[in-house]
Amino acid sequence: MAARKKLTIALAGNPNSGKTTTFNNITGTRQKVGNWPGVTVEKKEGHVRFGDYDLTVVDLPGTYSLTTFSIEEIVARNFILENRPDVVVDIIDSSNLDRSLYLATQLRELDAKVLFVLNMADLAKDKGIVIDEEKLSSLLEVPVISTVGNRNEGTAELLKNIIQVAETGQGPRAERRVRYSRDIEDGVAVVRDLLQAVEDKDFPYNPRWTAIKLIEDDEVVRDMAVKALGDKAGPILEETARQRERISNLFDDEPEILMTEQRYGFIAGIVREVVKRSSIKRVDVSRNIDLLLTNRILGFPIFFFFIWAMFQLTFTLGAYPQAWIEHGVELLSLGMTRILPSGMIQDLVVNGIIAGVGSVLVFLPNILILFFCIALFEDTGYMARAAFLMDKVMHLVGLHGKSFIPMLMGFGCNVPAIMAARTLENEKDRILTILINPFMSCSARLPVYVLLAGAFFAEKAGTVIFSIYLLGIVLAIVMGRIFRNTLLKGSVAPFVMELPPYRAPMIKSLMIHMWDRSKMFLKKMGGVILVGSIIVWALSTFPNDPQLARQYEIKRQQMEKTFAVRKPDASRQAVKVREMEKDKALAALEIEYTAAAKENSYLGRIGRFFGPVFAPVGIDWKGGVALFTGFVAKEIVISTLGVLHATKDDTDQGLADAMKKSGMTPLSAFSMMAFILLYVPCIATVSAIKQETNSWKWTAFSIGYSTTLAWVVAFIIYQGGQLLGFA
């Protein structure tokens, strides 16, 4: 039997051209979402069998052009150049032919095997635009077919054509390419000839294309040429510079601008030939919807209502399945406690693995719902409107309008919030949003504030907690501005953004979106969190001091004995009381032992070792240890404090009293709250940062700068407060 033939297909197209819908139609649910290597751009890959072929379909990022304007464009271009897909399918938005053809002409220049897909012909018709498919195909010498992605029309036809192009298609003939004005063509020819002259060592890129890009001063292509040609590149680059100068002097403008204009000139000629505009008076439904949704007065209230609804759905509705999962985890750990013999293994499974992974698993419902809502916003086209409304506010922080949703979601949980930063197209915006997102105080930190503020500020607790939230927002703004002007400086991304027509969402696409992102969360985080939980468990369990255990065992036996011997003639009532006293005393001893064991563990030692670091900010070693364990999940700070302070009753009140006794003051409590707000976020958030930035460097930076900032701010609060005479 003949082996199945493998083909690689790349999908290119403008944002909002229906590229993703086409991708979903071709590949169904068999897709893999990840990142392009080294960058935070989402990469989607899918597989499909068609006839005798195995097709790998790669969804390139949506771009308007193939220059080096954004990381997305570089990624898309490099894929075509380096991986040489068998066919590049360019999805063309029929209702916006000029701009779609701009990308198309660039794909043609790249010398890739191209197939054009006229998508959304129905929308174009509504706009009164009719495109002569055959004429377009013959003018550009590229096969052209029509689809309506939203209705999954023409998908089989598309696959058939892809295979045909792969098997038969040859590169387009030279005369069907964009021709620039004579002076530019002369310059291109000079550079091209130089490139061809050194082609003995197999220059891997099309020489004409390379020459065009060099004349356009494309830094990525320049680097590629230097890499491929070595010291032979020098004279070519010098000649390129001369040609650039000649052209600039002739036209009083940069060559790349002239060439962009001339490409559009070429396109205008094609559009004139193939487009018939009928005189149908078109009703712009989107425009009417926008009269309401971006209305000067109603726009904001409606926006806030949507956001509120999303927040409610995510965290209120999500609380129910969350409770079920929590319950399930509890049952599981109970079951495991029964099945496994008590001892180290049981402790590892129950308190290490199940507790640790369970603490992250509970976020799954939130993430599913949130991503459903975000997919809904994106697929309908509302996300662009949200950015339109909020841009002014977010721009003050140096952010894009679209950053608003991740920032707001951070108040619920930073994990889905950081994942929501994917909606930002620009990499710098995305990293900045991720870096300052943890300062949006998540709901897991609230119980810790409630405990501390409740214990030390009594009736002013509400105000104090509010001030902590405010501190987070202010610092996010300050740090955002600082990063914008230092680390993440560079080409400022213009806001120029399309407001796509509103579209009815497709359930299938919503589901795929929601599931893809959640799957990624479960898979990738599961690993990191599992390891992290085990490490924290080990640190708090070892070294297992047998002497300490023996000491307590002896104490326990003594206690049992004292309770056992006395009063053989006591009444039943007295025995009962006695029993209760015994249980209470044993429980107290148990707590005392746990506290002593924790104190003796590596974690306790680390806490005491770092005692001098925490002292200047008013946190004692117990607080320090609690902060360390807070890395697993912020709520754990409370339970660790409870263990270390060996409180007898489980209520917050007992712990509050114990902390007061230990010498904590309102000032040190406030300092600790600020520290908790700012220092390294929980392990789930850290792994989300790692996943989304796709870089250990940014992850380490995020951990380092936030913890440093936490210490500095807490130091200012504590020392400053003392100077001002607060206790």
Partner 1 sequence: MLLSEMKEGQEGVIAKVGGAGAFRRRLLEMGFLKGASLFVEKYAPLKDPLEVTLNGCHVSLRVEEAAHIVMEDA
Per the annotation, binding residues for Mg(2+) are: 24, 27-28
Binding range to partner 1, per CB under 8 A, among 259-267, 460-468, 503-511, 675-683: 259-267
Query: In 3D, which of 521, 178, 529 has the Cα closest to residue 368?
Result: 521
Contacts of 249 (CB under 8 A, 6+ apart): none
Binding range to partner 1, per CB under 8 A, among 170-178, 343-351, 383-391, 557-565: 383-391
Work out whether 261 is an interface residue with partner 1 (CB under 8 A): yes
Q: Are 535 and 356 contacting, i.e. CB atoms less than 8 angstroms apart? A: no
How near is the Cβ of 231 to partner 1 at its closest, in Å?
29
Work out whether 430 is an interface residue with partner 1 (CB under 8 A): no
Query: In 3D, which of 520, 702, 543, 529 has the Cα closest to residue 632?
Result: 529
How near is the Cβ of 103 to partner 1 at its closest, in Å?
9
Query: In 3D, which of 500, 544, 93 has the Cα closest to residue 348?
Result: 544
Q: Which of residues 455-494 bind partner 1 (CB under 8 A)?
A: 491-492, 494
Residue window 228-257: x/- pattern of binding to partner 1, with contact defined by CB under 8 A:
--------------------------x-xx
Work out whether 496 is an interface residue with partner 1 (CB under 8 A): yes
Using CA atoms, how far apart are residues 534 and 716, in angstroms rounded to an integer? 35
Cβ distance to partner 1 smaller for residue 17 or 694: 17
How near is the Cβ of 379 to partner 1 at its closest, in Å?
17
How near is the Cβ of 678 to partner 1 at its closest, in Å?
30
Packing angle of the helix pair 382-396, 299-312 (nearest 10 deg): 100
Cβ distance to partner 1 smaller for residue 404 or 628: 404
Query: In 3D, which of 619, 604, 723 has the Cα closest to residue 674?
Result: 619
Work out whether 402 is an interface residue with partner 1 (CB under 8 A): no
Residue window 205-224: x/- pattern of binding to partner 1, with contact defined by CB under 8 A:
--------------------
5, 47, 99, 179: residue in contact with partner 1 (rule CB under 8 A): 99
251, 264, 701, 705: residue in contact with partner 1 (rule CB under 8 A): 264
**Annotated binding site, which residues?**
13-20, 24, 27-28, 38-42, 59-62, 119-122
Long-range CB pairs of 521-528 (<8 Å, 24+ gap) are 521/363, 521/364, 521/367, 521/415, 521/419, 521/688, 522/364, 524/687, 524/691, 525/360, 525/684, 525/687, 525/688, 525/691, 526/357, 526/360, 528/683, 528/686, 528/687, 528/690
Work out whether 295 is an interface residue with partner 1 (CB under 8 A): yes
Cβ distance to partner 1 smaller for residue 324 or 495: 495
How near is the Cβ of 199 to partner 1 at its closest, in Å?
30
Cβ distance to partner 1 smaller for residue 69 or 251: 69
Binding range to partner 1, per CB under 8 A, among 239-247, 295-303, 538-546, 636-644: 295-303
DSSP string, 116-165: EEEE-HHHHHHTTEEE-HHHHHHHHTS-EEEEBGGGTBSHHHHHHHHHHH
Q: Are 680 and 439 contacting, i.e. CB atoms less than 8 angstroms apart? A: no
Work out whether 391 is an interface residue with partner 1 (CB under 8 A): yes
Work out whether 122 is an interface residue with partner 1 (CB under 8 A): no
**Tokens describing residue 224:** 């590629």
Strand pairing category for 275-277 and 129-131: antiparallel
Cβ distance to partner 1 smaller for residue 94 or 693: 94
Cβ distance to partner 1 smaller for residue 297 or 727: 297
Q: Which of residues 124-153 bind partner 1 (CB under 8 A)?
A: 127
CA atoms within a 13 Å half-sphere pointing along the CA-CB vector of 502 = 16
32, 242, 287, 648: residue in contact with partner 1 (rule CB under 8 A): 287
Q: Taking CA 182 as the corner, what is the angle to CA 179 and CA 186, rounded to the nearest 5 degrees?
A: 95
5, 50, 69, 600: residue in contact with partner 1 (rule CB under 8 A): 69
Q: How many residues bind partner 1 (CB under 8 A)?
A: 42
477, 497, 596, 606: residue in contact with partner 1 (rule CB under 8 A): 497
Using CA atoms, how far apart are residues 535 and 529, in angstroms rounded to an integer? 10
Report in angstroms the alpha-carbon separations of 99 from 83, 93, 426, 498: 26, 9, 20, 12
How near is the Cβ of 510 to partner 1 at its closest, in Å?
24
How near is the Cβ of 277 to partner 1 at its closest, in Å?
10
Residue 42, H or E segment: strand 42-50
Binding range to partner 1, per CB under 8 A, among 90-98, 177-185, 642-650, 679-687: 90-98
21, 22, 67, 647: residue in contact with partner 1 (rule CB under 8 A): 67
Q: With the CA atoms of 645, 650, 654 and 658 taken in that order, what torsion angle do they form, in degrees rounded to the nearest 10?
A: 0
How near is the Cβ of 532 to partner 1 at its closest, in Å?
41
Query: In 3D, which of 194, 185, 188, 281 has the Cα closest to residue 235?
Result: 194
Burial class (CB in 10 A: 0-12, 13-18, 19+), 124: buried
**Tokens describing residue 722:** 């003392």
Q: With the CA atoms of 600, 604, 610 and 615 taken in that order, what torsion angle do they form, in degrees rounded to the nearest 10?
A: -100
How near is the Cβ of 416 to partner 1 at its closest, in Å?
27
Query: In 3D, which of 65, 53, 98 has the Cα closest to residue 272?
Result: 98
Find where tokens 């003939």 sit: 173
Work out whether 121 is an interface residue with partner 1 (CB under 8 A): no
- Residue 397, SS3 per DSSP: coil
**Tokens describing residue 643:** 């263990």
Q: Are 20 and 42 contacting, i.e. CB atoms less than 8 angstroms apart? A: no
23, 53, 79, 102: residue in contact with partner 1 (rule CB under 8 A): 102
79, 209, 363, 388: residue in contact with partner 1 (rule CB under 8 A): 388
Work out whether 174 is an interface residue with partner 1 (CB under 8 A): no
40, 95, 210, 699: residue in contact with partner 1 (rule CB under 8 A): 95
Work out whether 24 is an interface residue with partner 1 (CB under 8 A): no
Q: Are 305 and 132 contacting, i.e. CB atoms less than 8 angstroms apart? A: no
Work out whether 96 is an interface residue with partner 1 (CB under 8 A): yes
Binding range to partner 1, per CB under 8 A, among 33-41, 317-325, 388-396, 650-658: 388-396
How near is the Cβ of 188 to partner 1 at its closest, in Å?
18
Work out whether 299 is an interface residue with partner 1 (CB under 8 A): yes
Cβ distance to partner 1 smaller for residue 173 or 392: 392
272, 276, 296, 338: residue in contact with partner 1 (rule CB under 8 A): 296
Q: Are 217 and 244 contacting, i.e. CB atoms less than 8 angstroms apart? A: yes
Q: Taking CA 545 as the corner, what is the angle to CA 541 and CA 550, rounded to the nearest 5 degrees?
A: 120
Footprint of partner 1 on this chain (CB under 8 A)? 64-65, 67, 69, 95-96, 98-99, 102, 127, 254, 256-257, 260-261, 264, 286-287, 290, 294-297, 299-300, 384, 388-389, 391-393, 395, 491-492, 494-501
